[in-house]
Amino acid sequence: MFTGLIQALGTMKPLEGDSWQITCVSQPSIVIMQDLAYGDSVAVDGVCLTVEKVLKDGFIATASPETLRRTTLGGENVQQRYVNLETSLRVGSKVGGHFVMGHVDGTGRLLEVKQTASSWEMTFIASEAIAQYIVPKGSIAVNGISLTVAAYEPETSQFTVAVIPITYAETNLRYLVPGNWVNLEGDILGKYVEKFLHPSQSNHIASITPEFLAEHGYL
């Protein structure tokens, strides 16, 4: 589990098989490397990967063919771009963003970037897999970054986020141009709500009704 607060930027280099070498390249990389160990989880552009070997300035992890197919990590230009890095949440740590699982729901594409007096407004179009979890003022992870949805158009699956200067400066958002693809993960709370509201999708969850709530002490 992560918080969506990026700790460093890195690069990816393919090795033999499905292994990748991730190298920290930004100044605050010590936050990533100070106690990184075998078996740790690191979010790479929002994708949870497991550390298989710790290097001097990075680590080696395996990204399965399914992961590469469903996320931007399998893109042709992954070696030429920066990826966002965040280590897993520690018990007792501050949660400055929102709970990010590192399980990407789908991809989206940047449509437009507008610089305002205090931020950058970035508009994306989301795939069908993620659109159902987007709500105005709700949370969404874009390339692993915890952001708030400023506006959402359900008819077109387009949403806009306002990116403050520190987030823009310290993540790979500043390198994006219209047409670039990003990893998207919806808020985990929305997924549980959907599960309860559509009990037909599970044989183990009853429909939420006034009677159900009363029976379980909520009324």
What would the pLDDT profile of 133-146 be if each residue is shown by its tens digit? 898 999 999 999 99
pLDDT number for residue 198: 67
184 has pLDDT over 90 = yes
Average pLDDT of the segment spanning 120-128 = 94
HSE of 90 in the Cβ direction (CA atoms, 13 Å)?
8
Task: Write the CA distances from 51 to 31, 33, 55, 149, integer angstroms.
Answer: 15, 11, 10, 31
pTM of the model: 0.85
Q: Is 15 helix (H, G, I), strand (E, B) or coil?
A: coil
Phi, psi at 57, each rounded to 5°: -130, 30
pLDDT number for residue 219: 58
The structural domains of the chain, ordered by start, are: 8-87 (2.40.30.20), 106-195 (2.40.30.20)
User: What is the chain's mean pLDDT, rounded?
Assistant: 88
pLDDT number for residue 92: 67
What would the pLDDT profile of 155-179 be if each residue is shown by its tens digit? 999 999 999 999 999 999 999 999 9
What would the pLDDT profile of 65-95 be if each residue is shown by its tens digit? 889 888 999 877 777 789 999 999 877 677 7
